[in-house]
Structure 1
Amino acid sequence: MDIQIRPIEPTEHTTLGDITATAYLDDGLLDFGESDAYLHELRDVTKRAASAEVLVAAAEGRVLGGVTFVPGPGPMSDIARPGEAEIRMLAVAREARGRGAGEALVRACLDRARATDGCTGVVLSTQRTMRAAHRVYERLGFTRAPERDWNPLPELDDISLLVYELTL
């Protein structure tokens, strides 16, 4: 299968929102299931695309997954510091996993970061259970930055996100 990475088309926003939300729900990554507030953020591709670059992996005329590339600190970044780009909301449809779409999306983000003036690194947050994603990040040169781990919901002690970083 020939996977292409390209900017998302507006007509694909709903499709990618559904893929992203379904991936997080099916993988048990949302603490409150369908009632999780973050689910709305995952579905709202139009909002992401307005302030960051949303890329899709596509093959044979269909979207397989997507990622949000944030070129630096701003409204779509969670942890990026000056000089860092951030990768957010990486998701691949279950039926397309294991075919290289996720890795191709991360590589595309790294290419964009290298082309961004003043960008010296890339960061991302991930959950402890996303082990397949961790292997992809490590294969591409990311290393753990435990001193940057953070909790998006301080009222819930057990929600800690792991941070990975890569120096360009």
Structure 2
Amino acid sequence: MDILIRPADPTEHAALGEITAQAYLGDGLLDFGADDPYLGELRDVAKRAAAAEVLVAVDGDRLLGGVTFVPSGGPMADIARPGEAEIRMLAVDHAARGRGAGEALVRACVERARATRGCRAVVLSTQRTMHAAHRIYERLGFVRTPERDWNPLPELDDIMLHTYELTL
């Protein structure tokens, strides 16, 4: 498989939004299932693309997945501090998993961060059950930063996002 990573085309936004939503739903990552309000955010690729860089992985004309790269100081950042880029909403179509698309997307984000003036690290948040993603991050040199773990929904005690950082 020849995976190409490139910026998302606006004509791909709806399809990528659905891949992202189905990946989170299929992996049981949404606390309220199909009624989870975060599904709207996952599907709204146009909104992300207006505030950050959305990258896609493609094999020929097949869309495999995508990721949102937030350069230092971008409005889509959840945990990034000055001088840090952030990776958000990494998702790969279930049928395309295990073929390197997720790792290729993360590598592309790291390359963009290295090319960003003043960027000294890449950070991300992940759910504790995203074991396949954790393996990708760790293989690429990211380290856990438990001191930065956070809860996006303080009203729900059991949601704690784990954080990782890669020093550039």
> Which residue in 2 is equivalent to 1:63?
63
Partners of 1:88 and 1:57 in 2: how far apart?
A: 15
Q: TM-score, normalised by structure 1?
A: 0.99
- Structure 1 unmatched runs, 5+: none
> Which residue in 1 is equivalent to 2:134?
134
Q: TM-score, normalised by structure 2?
A: 0.99
The DSSP-based 3-state class of the residue aligned with 2:34 is helix
> Which residue in 1 is equivalent to 2:81?
81
Partners of 1:60 and 1:112 in 2: how far apart?
A: 23
Partners of 1:73 and 1:21 in 2: how far apart?
A: 26
> Which residue in 1 is equivalent to 2:165?
165
Cα shift readout 1:7-40 (whole Å, capped 9, x = no counterpart): 0000000000000000000000000011111110
RMSD: 0.5
* 1:39 matches 2:39: yes
The DSSP-based 3-state class of the residue aligned with 1:75 is coil
Deviation at 1:60, TM superposition (A): 2.2
The percent of aligned pairs where both chains have the same amino acid is 78
Q: How does 1:1-168 map to 2 (within 5 A)?
A: 1-168=1-168
Partners of 2:133 and 2:27 in 1: how far apart?
A: 12
Equivalent AA in structure 1 for residue 85 of structure 2? A
Deviation at 1:63, TM superposition (A): 0.6
Deviation at 1:56, TM superposition (A): 0.1
Equivalent AA in structure 2 for residue 111 of structure 1? E
Cα shift readout 1:72-93 (whole Å, capped 9, x = no counterpart): 2232010000000000000000
Equivalent AA in structure 2 for residue 133 of structure 1? A
Cα shift readout 1:132-167 (whole Å, capped 9, x = no counterpart): 100000000000000000000000000000000010
Partners of 1:153 and 1:51 in 2: how far apart?
A: 22
Equivalent AA in structure 2 for residue 60 of structure 1? G
The DSSP-based 3-state class of the residue aligned with 2:11 is helix
Equivalent AA in structure 2 for residue 67 of structure 1? V
Partners of 2:100 and 2:131 in 1: how far apart?
A: 15
The runs of at least 4 consecutive aligned structure 1 residues that moved more than 6 Å come to none
Partners of 1:100 and 1:68 in 2: how far apart?
A: 17
Deviation at 1:62, TM superposition (A): 1.3
Partners of 1:68 and 1:138 in 2: how far apart?
A: 19
Partners of 2:59 and 2:6 in 1: how far apart?
A: 11
The DSSP-based 3-state class of the residue aligned with 1:79 is coil
